[in-house]
Structure 1
Amino acid sequence: MKDKKVLFISQSAMIAAIYVVLTLVFAPFSYGNIQVRISEALTILPYFTPAAIPGLFIGCLLSNIIGGSILPDILFGSLATLIGAAISYRVRRHKYLVAVPPVIVNTLVVPFVLYYGYQINLPIPLMMLTVGIGEIISCGVLGSVLLKVLDRYGRSIFKSS
């Protein structure tokens, strides 16, 4: 029982760390009103382990703090990632739907953060379009590639013993 708890925490921490590193390495693309956050490809990881849910949340939270985001972005952006990851875990039986919840949740939440938090004076539907495109690229395309590779070659990484 204790080993499973340690494994869960270790996997969560590793996922959070990888999320932060990817976000910061690709910082020019990770922040702003038009962004493709490469680290969002990791949002497919709830397909393999529930440890990805807190890992993605903490990774997003830390990335937003380190990246100098404002408080509403730190809170609501990170909560959007948490909600997307939790829903992805719920739909994991349908492998290729796992990337969809983060796209939808971020497309619905982030434009309001940009509009009200950062005072970006663009129509919210336009920002939904730009955020949605960025999420489709990162979660949908890159995430699906990662899902396919990990499903084929890396499944043992997430085994519980």
Structure 2
Amino acid sequence: MNMKNSTNTPILSTQSVAKTAVVAALYVAITLVLAPISFGAVQLRFAEMFNYLALYNKRYVWGVTLGVFLANFASPTWAFDVPIGSLSTLLVLILVRFVTAKIKDMRVKYVITAIIVAISMFTIAGELYWVSHIPFWMSWLTIGIGELLSMVAGGFIIYPISKRIDLED
């Protein structure tokens, strides 16, 4: 059964599902290869650069969320990281799309996305406080800075790629 929208085009094409799966797989691969710095109270999760893809197409909200969901099974606190990290990612990427929807300049969208995503790390800091009794404010600061660094570095990778590859398609 092929579901279609009002213009009689497929809602879920094979190509769209494949692109979503590739993003999820890349997220997992990068996170696991860099596992020693991808988890914990001080972390640099470079796969977070894929958050920028949500600016180009909503399918990537699902791809990144699925990647977070799967990668977090490798976390020492996976029972909490899987649901909290996944839900946090989903909600933050929806928020990012909403906040940046009317902004034309992609560079401004990148800056806003990096800031929102870094601030959103309060959810992970709260989880670490609750699970491991790590001080909330220090955890939020270190994870937020790590997230901001990951996003800035990722911006220097994803933005030039977006100039060569149509990420909106």
**TM-score scaled by length of structure 2:** 0.82
2:155 pairs with 1:147: no
Q: 2:150 is matched with which residue: 135, 138, 142? A: 138
Shift of 1:143: 2.6
State the Cα distance separating 1:3 from its structure 2 match: 7.7
CA distance in 1, matches of 2:65, 2:71: 10
Q: RMSD of the alignment, in Å?
A: 1.8
Q: Larger Cα Rg: Structure 1 or Structure 2? A: 2
State the Cα distance separating 1:67 from its structure 2 match: 3.8
Unmatched 5+ residue regions in structure 2?
A: 1-8
Contact 1:80 1:102 in 2 (8 A): no
Q: Percent identity?
A: 27
How many residues are paired up? 154
- Counting only pairs closer than 5 Å after superposition, residues 6-155 of structure 1 correspond to structure 2 as 6-90=14-98, 91-92=100-101, 93=103, 94-96=108-110, 97-105=112-120, 107-117=121-131, 119=132, 121-139=133-151, 141-154=152-165
- Residue type at the aligned position of 1:138: S
Q: Which sections of structure 1, spanning at least 5 residues, go unmatched?
A: none
Please, what TM-score do these two structures have when normalized by structure 1? 0.86
Q: Cα 1:100–1:8, aligned 2, differ >3 Å: closer, same or farther? A: farther
C-alpha distance in 2 between matches for 1:101 and 1:5: 31
